Structure 1
Amino acid sequence: MRLPTLRRTRPAEPGILTGTARLDRRTKRLVGRLRPGEIAVIDHVDIDRVAADSLVAVGVAAVLNAKPSISGRYPNLGPQVLVEAGITLLDDLGEGVFQQIREGDSVRVEGNTVFVRGEPVAHGVRQDGDTIAKAMLDAREGLSVQLEAFAANTMEYLKQERELLLDGVGVPDIKTQISGRHCLIVVRGYDYKADLDVLRPYIREFKPVLIGVDGGADALVEAGYTPDMIIGDMDSVTDDVLRCGAEVVVHAYPDGRAPGLDRVHQLGVSGITFPAAATSEDIAMLLADEKGATLIVAVGTHATLVEFLDKGRGGMASTFLTRLRVGGKLVDAKGVSRLYRQSISGSSLLLLVLSAIAAMAAAVAVSTVGKAYLSLAAEWWDDVMFHLQRLF
């Protein structure tokens, strides 16, 4: 497997940095509350690239991690993204940081130490380009172990969900009409914004069923669309989007428990459950396939081993089998924004419009009908000027 080449950066200066602290053990929940210049306090082993991209987009000044940002299980890309964006990363601070720091506290980071109200409350490891490069090199050696665990998880999932995978047993009945249509499934994964933007002509022409997987529903709304369906455990989709009128399918545990269903009902939204051991993006594909979609276009979904591990779930093994099940219906739009970019600039478009106007004017000027209209226009203009001269 070819892994991204790590670009070494200059070590961050151990200067003093201050900001307001925002805390949450779930990074994707915290991102919704963060503001530029604030300090994120998280509990995130192996920060993945999607989480890092969201923190960079918010514009945080620093990230304080109670856990190791790179544990050595595999070469996760999140810490590299944060450091290259100029964000201070201090990790392995310990569980006590969540007791020592409160929401809204003014926090000072100096070197490897965190201060609150002038008192040191935690010490950690300050990451820079060199420390991350070394940790990533060591983590590459852990890929073989993770590959074995991934294979074992895949076999276990096949035993648990063979009826769902082979015969579609357990797929719920839905109101949304999918049979004979395309489905666009959006997950908040790598490059989802750019890929979704490039797909605008496709969406406009084919009008596919728009399915948002948890926060992917927010991504569709942010892009100007209204999702037809929202599928997931409902831990990262916002309240307003849940109320948008889309059909809601709550991802439940195999035993039928669905914690997200309570939240849906509290918002006054009806929802059905889909019990499965797979991930939410996988059950979205399985549902679309079982209900007769002619084509499934996936945005932001996971496809490589590193991405599976980056997702941080043993259940990501289901993705491999789901893709085998869906087969030729699936078109993965990952990276389409890098493959194809619209190259028409504003100046080129203006020149094209002016050229069209000039061509139309020339055609009117040389035709018999055009000359007659020009003569009438000239007489009208003379009348207007004559009346204006009489007024003044």
Structure 2
Amino acid sequence: MRLPTLRRSRSADPGVLTGPVRLDRRTKRLVGRLRPGDIALIDHVDLDRVAADSLVAARVAAVLNAKPSISGRYPNLGPEVLVEAGIPLLDDLGEDIFHLVREGDDLVIEGDAVLRAGEELATGTRHDAGTVAKAMADAREGLSVQLEAFAANTMEYLKQERDLLLDGVGVPDIRTKLHRRHCLIVVRGYDYRADLEVLRPYIREFKPVLIGVDGGADALVEAGHAPDMIIGDMDSVSDDVLRCGAEVIVHAYPDGRAPGLHRTEQLGVPAILFPAAATSEDIAMLLADEKGATLIVAVGTHATLVEFLDKGRGGMASTFLTRLKVGGKLVDAKGVSRLYRQSISGSALLLLLLSALAAMASAVAVSTVGKAYLGILAEWWDNLVFDLQRLFS
């Protein structure tokens, strides 16, 4: 992806750049306000790949992080994504920077310092490919500790949501019919665009129930599909998509609190509550399984241990158990675009063209009208040759 041309300061140092800042402590919320060339100020310890991908897609000029982008707890994938995209990353700037700058301020990034109108506001660590590689290598050494914590969180979740996992207790009644149907669950995560493109023929042929998890509903609409259901805490789905007519299920905390319900009520969109400690993508799978779906195709969801840890939260422990519960129904579309890509080679096109020409020639040769046209064509060719011979003789 081409990044925007950065506005350089008057200094000849190519490492100095300026731009307007946009800030939010939640990266997911900030992305919706970013414009190409902005400097993004985030508060995101252990920056994950999904967040980094969204910042790259927004074509930001640089990323400032109040927290360490790689804390060393585990090898998170976000900083590497930013560095490979050529986006400067300056992190561990401290909490005070959120109080020192305002939305839209023009900031200058010079080395490891952030300045405004010549005044130094904060200093941090400026990352490049070398610093990220070293930090990632150090983080891999602590992976065993995180694995133990992940296992402990998994057992705690099993105790808390045993009835939901084993017996489907708490799964709400819905109007969308899932029994004996395929379900396509879309999360706006890794490689979701490529996988949705490859799955286009499958969607056209099998017409699965399309379930968007939060921003995954927008991903479906962007790909030209209308979601049948929207599930999540409603923090990253757009207003227009929420109003598209899909059945809306708001993910609530186990105690019944549902911040997303206030938003649906403001928009006048009827919604159903689904209280659970699991992640939104997991309750979508559990709902599809409990309501009798014969196949669940997952796009953009988490599949590997590194991806579980990359989210950096204990709630991801539900993902492991959910996959055990759903079992053989689940087909993960991640990587499908690398395994299979619909394409027609040049040799195949040439063969198709030659076959078509041969078929046309055969049809003309055996038909009465065709023979008449061939006679006219032969006579025209003879006359042309005769005229050329007279011209040069």
User: How well do the aligned residues superpose, as a CA RMSD in angstroms?
Assistant: 1.9
Q: Which residue of 2 aligns with 1:252?
A: 252
8 Å contact 1:14–1:111 — kept in the other structure? no
Q: Deviations over 1:226-264 (max 9, x none)?
A: 110000001111111111111000000001111101101
Alpha-carbon separation, structure 1, partners of 2:53 and 2:44: 14
Distance 1:240 1:352, change over 3 A: farther
In the aligned structure 2, how far is the partner of 1:304 from the partner of 1:190? 12
C-alpha separation in 1, matches of 2:372 and 2:314? 75
What is the CA-CA distance between 1:120 and the residue it aligns to? 1.2
Q: Which amino acid aligns with 1:319?
A: T
- Please show how residues 160-199 of structure 1 align to structure 2 within 5 Å: 160-199=160-199
CA distance in 1, matches of 2:15, 2:278: 45
Query: How much does 1:300 deviate?
Result: 0.9
Deviation at 1:116, TM superposition (A): 1.3
Which residue matches 1:42?
A: 42
TM-score for the superposition, normalised by structure 2: 0.89
Please give the residue correspondences for 1:73-88 in structure 2 after superposition, counting only pairs within 5 Å: 73-88=73-88
- CA gap of 1:23–1:354, structure 2 versus 1, over 3 A, is same
Partner of 2:381: none
1:345-366 superposed Cα distances (whole Å, 9 cap, x missing partner):
5x66764664354234213311
Counterpart in the other structure of 2:362: 363
User: Does residue 292 of the first structure (1) align with residue 283 of the second (2)?
Assistant: no
Cα drift, residue 118 of structure 1: 2.2
Distance in 1 separating the partners of 2:154 and 2:227: 31
**Residue 15 of structure 1 aligns with which residue?**
15
DSSP 3-state at the match of 1:186: strand
Determine helix, strand or coil for the equivalent of 1:177: coil
Distance 1:53 1:236 in 2: 15
Q: How many residues align?
A: 365
Q: Flag the 1:88–1:168 CA change in 2: closer, same or farther, 3 A.
A: same
- Could you say which residue in structure 2 is the equivalent of 1:6? none
Q: What is the TM-score with the length of structure 1 in the denominator? A: 0.89
Give the conservation status (yes or no) of the 8 Å contact 1:187–1:301.
yes
Q: Which runs of 5+ in 2 are unaligned?
A: 1-12, 378-393
Correspondence for 1:102? 102
Identity in percent: 79
Report the equivalent of 2:281. Answer: 281
Look up the match of 1:336.
336
The equivalences for 1:146-165 within 5 A come to 146-165=146-165
Q: Secondary structure at the match of 2:161?
A: helix
Contact 1:213 1:280 in 2 (8 A): yes
Question: 5+ unaligned residues in a row in structure 1: which ranges?
Answer: 1-12, 379-392
Q: What's the CA shift for 1:140?
A: 1.0
Q: 1:332 to 1:112 in 2, by over 3 A?
A: same
Give 2:47's aligned amino acid. I
Q: Verify the 8 A CA contact 1:23 1:30 in the aligned structure 2.
A: yes
